[in-house]
Structure 1
């Protein structure tokens, strides 16, 4: 019987997803977890968006004092004005918040002299 090693090219190992691939998968899963609750299962209505923001961006919302924040976010994200947020519109929010967090992080590093 031939001696096959796990590293043999004839038997490729399954590749583990990268950190970025995991992050992308998580974004998709989080969006669809909330979008499937009411109406169009591929879009967030205002209630689903509020639930997502409240559950997934707790720290961000806890700093906000504006009671109309969810309405404003909904208006800003809903570029096609269908009163729902699709995945493409949702990613804009995530990207904008990520950029803001990175800018804050860089500013903190500059202030500490690192």
Structure 2
């Protein structure tokens, strides 16, 4: 889903995610449309902002907050380190199926969203 192909209709996404009024960090924002089978994942910056460089089709997307990308390098015990979500984040936001967050992407250069959790 990362880096979906370029299309004529649609746009990029950007915005900010806060948790209890503070910028959320240590996670990614996932936009997913199961009907179209497309989506995009954006990394959260230290100030809680995100921005895609790739356009996604005009549609309504389910939005989830997912663990950050990892290189899956072995940890101290030799097993890969499994990325975790921020500890205060309610579990419902971890999946597009359970999250109540949605985003309507339109055919414009940038679609701006604010998610206050």
TM-score w.r.t. structure 1 length?
A: 0.25
Q: Report which of the two has the higher share of strand.
A: 2
Greater helix share, structure number: 1
Looking at CA atoms only, which structure, 1 or 2, has the larger radius of gyration? 1
